[in-house]
Structure 1
Amino acid sequence: MDTIKQYSRLLLGALLVVLSLSLIFVVGYAQALKSYQQQSRDAVLAQTEAARIGIEQILSSGVPLHDIAGLEKVLSPIVQADRSVVDIRVISGQQELYRYTTDDFDGSLITIPLSNKFAQVGVLEILLSDSEVEKAINESFRPMIGLIAILVVLFVFMVLRSDDPRIYFTAFGMVFLTMSVCVMMMVGALYKSGLENKANSMANIVTQRLAPVLTLGINPDHVSGMDAMLDSFRQSNKEVSGIVVESQSRLIARSQGDQAMAAVESVAEFPVADSKGNKVTISFNPKALVSKLLQILKNFAILFAGCAFICFAFIRLLSQSKKKRRSDVVLAQIKPLLLVTVLMESLMAPVLPQYLTQVALENGGTEAWSSYFFTVYFVGFAATLLPASRLVEIFDIRRVLTIGIMLSSFGCLMLAYDSHLVTVLAARLMSGVGQAVIFISVQGYILRFSDQSNKTQAAGIIVFCFNAGFISGAAIGALLADSLGESGIFQLSALVGGLMFLFSMVLPSMKAKSGNKGTLVDNLKSMMRDSAELIRVPSFIRTMLLVGIPTKMMLTGVVSFAVPILLSQKGVAKESIGQVLMAYAFAVLFISGKVSPLIDKFGSSKWALCLGNVIAALSLVVLGVAFALEDAGYTVYVATASMLVMGISHGFINAPVVTHVVSSTTGNSANSVASTYRFLERLGHVMGSVVVGQLIASFGNQSAFWGLAGFFAFAGVTMWLFDRPAKQEVMA
């Protein structure tokens, strides 16, 4: 029997490795395709610019567009620039003067106007086919499929050589890291290939501009201004640091680039020679290339981190010791389930705002209507928290959990197939209700399977899963949105929910400890009575007003609302804005994991809450400084530092605050206390953007943030001075 269990576990581990490495493959492939498409487009645009210059030189001499001979010779280098070019047309009015092929292709169209000295006389159209770019990426990534097979065999070999369950985690870590590194190396190779294509296109432009010297045999000594022309071309392409033109090994012209870069330019030089002995050497600025490559690799690192959160959460289940307590096993099973159900909703985040805006416009509304869809989701979530907390006390938690997963999944599926106003409203309401039921069910499992020794660490599971799920879902969803489309993303979210429905079957069936059933009305009355009693407990309401609600206000009002808008107003790219916000999520994850064990060890959470408020005040002071800076680059750096500090602050608060309200409110159901707290702190979510937005509008960025900093400093000191142990608390 043990042998059967061992091989079943190994088979499950191998399957998880296949799925995990396939996820890395898909993510790497999609990101490489996206980057290579942009490089291909840049190369084609550079070559098209050369063709436009050649044609307009002739037009400026007085020759009509339809009388130009040899268009094929001028335009053929565009086809040679990149395999994605499938058709070229020159059109004057309604007349088609030239077409490269008569075949029909699907793709994206680039239109370049053609003008003489006085007006536009025609257009040059370039048709790019994404399928040709995909073929190039497919050829590069095809060996990765074999690599997956090799790594799976390596994983199985390592597991069979050891009886220690921890070998699953070690072996998985090795193959996961190997696959990630190989994919990143492939991206580097594709980036270099794209640079070569771009260098070829630029060299063709230079050759065409210097054609009298290079092809007609005119003595270069009799031609002036060539160096200035090359220097002008270099300055219009910021990535280029130098251009050298030679003919028969004789220097013809060179740009006046930064001489300080000459010593390191050789690492980014691309010489392009022709059959006539002419050579054009394009040197790229190493700093610019490294910066762009690091940007691409940074995007990959975030995507791979998202994959790692998902994959390692599941592999830990296989690496657990057989002697581990049942409660620890259940908590370990809860972690991947909650993470992926959060991911199910956050996968849609990159496309949902645009989709909801489109739905609002199609149904006769305005763009502002899209906010109502988000409000409906929140109303469904908030209104379900307290009823769901009662449901998990009188029914089997696992059954309640599966109902929540089904509701959330069905809400995603409705978005994929129907865009009517009522359907979308119902879908968002259903998703909000479903996510709330999932949240309360998971919280119920955590409270029932944790004790004094690990209750804060158990509560930290929720903090970890919400942040990790957001990072993973948003990063992967943004990447796959282009290839899957809105409907595909919604279907993928529903599929993820279906898989989590099956996974939830491994959790234990947990009936209510008491036989309390009663009617629905009786349970609702009891729920409201318990909530009213909690609001009268000084410790509970003090924690809520000084810590809980203000912290959630900062999350929605500052992190999600003010920072993105203010950075956007400074012209910061959306990608950079997203990475500033991710700094917050990563900081919360890291600090929460370190603080939770300390809370359980020392038995007190008040110090963490007070310290978190003081750190929040510091982060707001830094944020006020950030948006007072004129330079957008420095603003991004300082804002990132502020978000890291804000994340540290919330890492001290998010998990310990639940422990604090439960331990300081004696004589009440722990699940009821936690659910009531979670419900009331949502007021911070609702008020956050309104309050922060009004403060900024009334007092300006710096004064608003510094005023909020003063409040958090005051709240931290007040909490430290006046919060008392539970035994000293009395009902008001």
Structure 2
Amino acid sequence: MNAMKPYSRLLLGALLVVLSLSLIWVVGYAQALKSYQQQSRDAVLAQTEAAKINIEQILSSGVPLHEIAGLEKMLTPIAQSDASVVDLRVISGQQALYRYTTEPMEGSLVTLPLNNKFTQAGVLEILLSSDETEKVIEAHFQPMLLLVVLLAGLFVWLVLRSARPNRYLTAFGLVFAVMSLSVILMVGVLYQSGLQHKADSMASIVTQRLAPVLRLGISPHQVSGMDTMLDSFRQSNPEVSRITVTHNEAIIARSQSPSDMLSAEEMAQFSVADHRGNLVTIAFEPKAVLAQLAHILKNFAILFAGCALICVAFVRLLSHAGTQSHGEQVLAKVKPLLLVTVLMEALMAPVLPQYLSEVAVQNGGTAHGSSYFFTLYFVGFAAMLLPAARMVEVFDIRRVLNAGIACSAIGCLMLAFDAQLWSVLVARLISGIGQAMIFIAAQGYLLRFSDQSNKTQAAGIIVFSFNAGLIAGAAIGALLAESLGVQGIFLLSASVGGLMFLFALSLPAISMKTGSQKAGNLESGHQHSGLQSSANSATPSHGSLAENLRVMVQDSLALIRVPSFVRAMLLVGIPTKMMLTGVVSFAVPILLSKQGVAKESIGQVLMAYAFAVLFVSGKVSPLIDRMGSAKWALCLGNGVAAVSLVVLASAFSLENTTVLVATATAAMLIMGVSHGLINAPVVTHVVSVASESHANAVASTYRFLERIGHVAGAIVVGALLAQFGQLSAFWSLAAFFALAGLLMWCADRTPTQEATA
């Protein structure tokens, strides 16, 4: 991009802005649609629940369901008050006693049992369609597409009128913030509209119930039980704090209401009047309204943060295109590319464990048996690391990278189009192979375009990209899973892979001679006895791939004879990866799903882990580069991991879902701090204790061996959970990490001591 002309860079920036703001629009539309549909559904179910109570009161008096008169008058107003209700049915056995329409309709079916004193007498079925709510959301969001165009024009104008190097990033930040704020404000408007719609529907039902008084002119003093009826109606919807009915400003009926809420209800109350002078006032409980609104805005804030991580990573390329050296710019390109290729997998994180569990159960297995299917991805990943490490020395790194992206995208496509057992297993294996090739190719770029002054920060690019991709993918995937479905998420992941395949073509083609020359220069400065027997392996051979793999295995055997390398691998590296795959990616989503936690909340729990890793790693990596030692960070990371497992054990002993999610989120934050202290520093540590002159071979071999934890993580944790239960399993893992951290601190020597031994 250094050679890119200014107008070409500006055009690319404008295109990126349009794509970024469109992403915000899509995310905002999906979240607003989900929230509005939930409000509409709650209103209908509240009305239906009130009708159910009335029917069951009649049933309890001894009247059979088929002899109840007035079902039509009781249920028809529900369908008329909300367009999302396309059909209502009362069924006793095989006989339909009432049906709102005889036309075939499509939608989601909700079934409520109708019970008498002794048994179930029938069911009340409600068929809900989302078509009408979609029309409402589309009417509000379609004008915002014009805002995308206007903000893209503002971006171009801001860039053209400024000569500052960071003008691209500044202009992008401004338009991104304006678009995000606009979408959030739209959500507030739609939320208020949803409350008004809910109040209108409830007021219509109340009017129908009190028709003799409100329409026929009967004196309210001659009708008893109106207050009780309103209070029963209010109790069926916890959000409503008070219902008041007046006629010509005279109160004729009123539900009970807590006295301390009277002064605050006015901030969330809606009045519905008719031409006869009747007024129905629905007051919503302010705490419930604010809690729901805060929940929606929190979801938006997290989603926009995920979008920002993706978009800003690409905009930085434009912002610094004219000031960076060639090596810095390559590192800057690798960062967003690796981020988005990780996002390919992260998009599936909120739905994949449950999906694999379903596949396992459908084929005669158990939910815990899905750990073997889940592990197959990491088997492919681990098995490909050594071959991929040699491939980047033999072939053009860019070709290896693009082959990996293609494999990963093909794996996603297979999941989308075929749900057979063999196809799912092959798809996960291919995806693991592809991600390993991407990882090793990215690592090859990082090692070849970094030096001693920024090696840990270059390793930190991998940590940043992995966790930023997990944050964005988990947030967007959890949201879009509701509208796209599981198969749609798989297709989206494959599409992202196609885009990254094209972006990877902008990276330089690195031949083996470039790596050979650098390796030779480094080799002249340092030797380590542990790798002297295979020193020539640093220089790529022109022989066959099998010969190069044989040399890689020799390097691995040499490294295993280095005690500090083995201690770091067994006490830190492998256990940390086991926690990532076994606890964070496998156990936590499945256990939360069993507790009835929503997909978006599961995604946010996983995001808490990624946020913590991202923040801590960014602070620790430069510190270790200055201090020259990573041992303290590894030992501290193990201790923090033990604490997180203890908190996680306590989380799953709780019954309250809200407290469970909050405690699990805290546990994942602590786990993220632990892995932030370990992920990048451990690479620096093993390279320093093994061989600086063969950094690529050492790092690749370590990355391969630590994947034993990736492969075994889900199986080991799944077996512990099945054998000992949640509490004992997490406590046992906590004890292991505490002991491992202590052993690492006491037994491991400094790199200088071991090198001279």
What amino acid sits opposite 1:612 in the alignment? G
CA deviation profile, 1:402-425 (whole Å, cap 9, x unmatched): 111111112222333334443333
1:400 aligned residue: 400
Separation (CA, whole Å) in 2 of partners of 1:356 and 1:85: 34
1:638 maps onto 2:663 in alignment: yes
What amino acid sits opposite 1:206 in the alignment? V
Q: CA deviation at 1:438?
A: 0.6
1:435 maps onto 2:435 in alignment: yes
1:299 aligned residue: 299
What amino acid sits opposite 1:499 in the alignment? L
2:155 aligned residue: 155
2:481 aligned residue: 481
Separation (CA, whole Å) in 1 of partners of 2:500 and 2:2: 27
1:607 maps onto 2:614 in alignment: no
Higher alpha-carbon deviation: 26-35 or 407-416: 407-416
Secondary structure, counterpart of 2:499 in structure 1: helix
2:559 to 522, 534, 538: 534
Residues 220 and 252 in structure 1, CA contact (< 8 A), matched pair in contact too: yes
Separation (CA, whole Å) in 2 of partners of 1:358 and 1:557: 18
What amino acid sits opposite 2:280 in the alignment? V
What amino acid sits opposite 2:434 in the alignment? G
Separation (CA, whole Å) in 2 of partners of 1:52 and 1:111: 11
2:83 aligned residue: 83
Change in Cα spacing, 1:528 to 1:114, as seen in structure 2 (3 Å) is: closer
Change in Cα spacing, 1:698 to 1:126, as seen in structure 2 (3 Å) is: closer
Secondary structure, counterpart of 1:532 in structure 2: helix
1:12 aligned residue: 12
Change in Cα spacing, 1:123 to 1:568, as seen in structure 2 (3 Å) is: closer
Q: How does 1:156-195 map to 2 (within 5 A)?
A: 156-195=156-195
Q: RMSD across aligned C-alpha pairs, in angstroms?
A: 3.3
1:132 maps onto 2:140 in alignment: no
Residues 88 and 124 in structure 1, CA contact (< 8 A), matched pair in contact too: yes
Q: CA deviation at 1:159?
A: 0.3
1:552 to 572, 577, 580: 577
Change in Cα spacing, 1:638 to 1:143, as seen in structure 2 (3 Å) is: same
Secondary structure, counterpart of 1:506 in structure 2: coil
Change in Cα spacing, 1:379 to 1:561, as seen in structure 2 (3 Å) is: closer
What amino acid sits opposite 1:418 in the alignment? D
Separation (CA, whole Å) in 2 of partners of 1:669 and 1:484: 47
Secondary structure, counterpart of 1:33 in structure 2: helix
1:271 aligned residue: 271
Q: CA deviation at 1:47?
A: 3.6
What amino acid sits opposite 1:328 in the alignment? E
Q: CA deviation at 1:212?
A: 4.0
Separation (CA, whole Å) in 2 of partners of 1:416 and 1:2: 39
Change in Cα spacing, 1:491 to 1:678, as seen in structure 2 (3 Å) is: same
Higher alpha-carbon deviation: 47-56 or 445-454: 47-56
Q: CA deviation at 1:298?
A: 1.7
Change in Cα spacing, 1:383 to 1:154, as seen in structure 2 (3 Å) is: same
Separation (CA, whole Å) in 1 of partners of 2:509 and 2:633: 35
What amino acid sits opposite 1:645 in the alignment? I
What amino acid sits opposite 1:42 in the alignment? D
Change in Cα spacing, 1:655 to 1:2, as seen in structure 2 (3 Å) is: closer
2:526 aligned residue: none
1:250 aligned residue: 250
Higher alpha-carbon deviation: 229-238 or 337-346: 229-238
What amino acid sits opposite 2:467 in the alignment? N
Secondary structure, counterpart of 1:276 in structure 2: coil
1:413 maps onto 2:438 in alignment: no
Q: CA deviation at 1:336?
A: 0.9
What amino acid sits opposite 1:597 in the alignment? P
Higher alpha-carbon deviation: 120-129 or 252-261: 120-129
Higher alpha-carbon deviation: 384-393 or 509-518: 509-518
Separation (CA, whole Å) in 1 of partners of 2:745 and 2:123: 72
Change in Cα spacing, 1:346 to 1:698, as seen in structure 2 (3 Å) is: closer
1:34 aligned residue: 34
Residues 475 and 603 in structure 2, CA contact (< 8 A), matched pair in contact too: no
Separation (CA, whole Å) in 2 of partners of 1:556 and 1:363: 23
1:507 aligned residue: 507
Secondary structure, counterpart of 2:263 in structure 1: helix
2:388 aligned residue: 388
Q: CA deviation at 1:145?
A: 0.8
CA deviation profile, 1:48-88 (whole Å, cap 9, x unmatched): 445566777888797996995794x6555334322223455
Change in Cα spacing, 1:368 to 1:117, as seen in structure 2 (3 Å) is: closer
Change in Cα spacing, 1:640 to 1:423, as seen in structure 2 (3 Å) is: closer
Change in Cα spacing, 1:362 to 1:25, as seen in structure 2 (3 Å) is: same
Change in Cα spacing, 1:689 to 1:101, as seen in structure 2 (3 Å) is: closer
Change in Cα spacing, 1:57 to 1:420, as seen in structure 2 (3 Å) is: closer
Separation (CA, whole Å) in 1 of partners of 2:185 and 2:471: 24
Residues 642 and 735 in structure 2, CA contact (< 8 A), matched pair in contact too: yes
Q: Unaligned regions of 5+ residues in structure 1, if any?
A: none
1:374 aligned residue: 374
Q: CA deviation at 1:147?
A: 0.7
Separation (CA, whole Å) in 1 of partners of 2:491 and 2:743: 49
Q: How does 1:192-207 map to 2 (within 5 A)?
A: 192-207=192-207
Separation (CA, whole Å) in 2 of partners of 1:119 and 1:537: 73
Secondary structure, counterpart of 1:263 in structure 2: coil
2:533 aligned residue: none
Separation (CA, whole Å) in 2 of partners of 1:300 and 1:433: 34
Q: How does 1:449-464 map to 2 (within 5 A)?
A: 449-464=449-464
CA deviation profile, 1:113-137 (whole Å, cap 9, x unmatched): 6788998887665443322221111
Change in Cα spacing, 1:264 to 1:424, as seen in structure 2 (3 Å) is: same
1:143 aligned residue: 143
Change in Cα spacing, 1:403 to 1:171, as seen in structure 2 (3 Å) is: same
Change in Cα spacing, 1:114 to 1:553, as seen in structure 2 (3 Å) is: closer
What amino acid sits opposite 1:580 in the alignment? V
What amino acid sits opposite 1:665 in the alignment? A
What amino acid sits opposite 1:308 in the alignment? A
1:446 maps onto 2:428 in alignment: no
Separation (CA, whole Å) in 1 of partners of 2:361 and 2:177: 46
Residues 272 and 279 in structure 1, CA contact (< 8 A), matched pair in contact too: yes
Separation (CA, whole Å) in 1 of partners of 2:314 and 2:215: 65
Separation (CA, whole Å) in 2 of partners of 1:620 and 1:351: 23
CA deviation profile, 1:469-502 (whole Å, cap 9, x unmatched): 1222232223223433343332222221111111
1:586 aligned residue: 611
Higher alpha-carbon deviation: 122-131 or 521-530: 122-131
Change in Cα spacing, 1:127 to 1:666, as seen in structure 2 (3 Å) is: closer
Q: CA deviation at 1:532?
A: 0.4
Secondary structure, counterpart of 2:244 in structure 1: strand
Q: Unaligned regions of 5+ residues in structure 2, if any?
A: 517-539
CA deviation profile, 1:262-281 (whole Å, cap 9, x unmatched): 11111011122223222221
2:524 aligned residue: none
Change in Cα spacing, 1:215 to 1:315, as seen in structure 2 (3 Å) is: same
Separation (CA, whole Å) in 1 of partners of 2:740 and 2:695: 25
Identical aligned residues as a percent: 68
Q: How does 1:34-113 map to 2 (within 5 A)?
A: 34-49=34-49, 71=72, 75-87=75-87, 104-110=104-110
**TM-score, normalised on structure 1?**
0.91
1:327 aligned residue: 327
CA deviation profile, 1:30-53 (whole Å, cap 9, x unmatched): 121122222222222334445566
Separation (CA, whole Å) in 2 of partners of 1:615 and 1:368: 27
Separation (CA, whole Å) in 1 of partners of 2:362 and 2:477: 24
Separation (CA, whole Å) in 1 of partners of 2:18 and 2:81: 38
2:744 aligned residue: 719
Secondary structure, counterpart of 2:271 in structure 1: strand
1:650 maps onto 2:675 in alignment: yes
1:682 maps onto 2:699 in alignment: no
Secondary structure, counterpart of 1:272 in structure 2: strand
Change in Cα spacing, 1:54 to 1:600, as seen in structure 2 (3 Å) is: same
